[in-house]
Chain A
Amino acid sequence: MDTTYNPFSLMGKTVLVTGASSGIGRETAITCSRMGARVVVTARDQERLQDCFNQLNADVEGHLQFSADLTNEDDVKQLVSSLPSLDGAVLCAGNSTTLPLQFGSREKFDEMFDINFFAPVELLRLMYKKKLLVKGASVVLIASIGGTHSFMPGNGVYGASKAALNSVMKYAAREYASRRVRVNSICPGMVDTPLIHRGTITEEQLAEDAKRYPLGRYGRPEDVANGAVYLLSDAASWLTGHDLVIDGGFSI
């Protein structure tokens, strides 16, 4: 084996990861740093962000952290003005809700769309407009199978926000290709993160639901992080506008 050959390496790349204080974002930030990237992490919770920052691979120099609430316009402006040039970005910050549609008021939709749709779309827009994304950069949006590949009762408000994100991903892929910036998304099935253990669904129901996944379990944050590494790396140089389903076979 040629140990120097690794098209999946992120060596020499600077990668932004949002939502890095927990779950998929945290794992993605740590994995990217282990693959050689200099990582810029951001999240709301300063203490947990620091904790993630401390876990980043110290063999790579120059990691940065900025705490910011991506639903707050001033925070976003501040963040964007502090960012270095980026070879990649993984926009993980998001939230979920389990709510039958008849309770999906405008207020509930707004809450979900603010963090899952408007926040990443605005950040993506500003990063592109301000030319922070270098030529050949790769952007990964964390969407969901919900809203595009799966339509489970109670997931409509959440799924709609992720479907909208997937749609913008494809438009951005077309438009940003002129600068050779690639834009893809990952559509995970249920991933075992603190987000799904908030109690609306009981632990018993979750365990029962996990059995419905052909590969026999819910996803782990690293399942998604490894997909993000691929999309960020030069191995995916000819891939754009794709929604990569990582769901243990659930949506087959």
Chain B
Amino acid sequence: MDIHEFIENFAAQFDDTDAALFTAETNFKQLDEWSSLTALSIIAMVDDEYDVIIKGNDILSSDTIQDLFNIVEKQQ
């Protein structure tokens, strides 16, 4: 798994947030655009792109995109 590609896929679930704001260290739940629907999109994206089923709690327990990446990578 490639973190850069993951960040790109992650960022694609947003519409109004500047792409430059997405790095491995981004605290994604602090973003203005973050919502419960974005969370559902992230879960669906991970299923689609990585064939991994993550749960709402995985999002809840992740602060940064890197945190979530690590969870997905471990399950792959």
Contact = CB atoms under 8 A, between A and B. Distances in A.
A204 B61 CA distance: 12
A154 interface: yes
A215 to B, nearest CB: 22
Given A154-B37, A154-B40, A103 B56 contact: no
A89 to B, nearest CB: 33
Interface stretch (B3-11, B19-27, B42-50, B67-75): B42-50
A201 B43 CA distance: 10
A198 B45 CA distance: 18
A64 interface: no
Interface residues of A, number: 14
Interface of A: 98-100, 102-103, 153-154, 198-202, 204-205
Interface bracket on B: 10 to 19
A153 B40 contact: yes
The CB with the most chain B CB atoms within 10 A, among A100, A102, A199, is that of A100
Contacts of A98: 40
A200 B55 contact: yes
With most chain B CB atoms within 10 A of its CB, the pick from A102, A103, A200 is A200
B60 A103 contact: no
B56 A100 contact: no
A102 B41 CA distance: 8
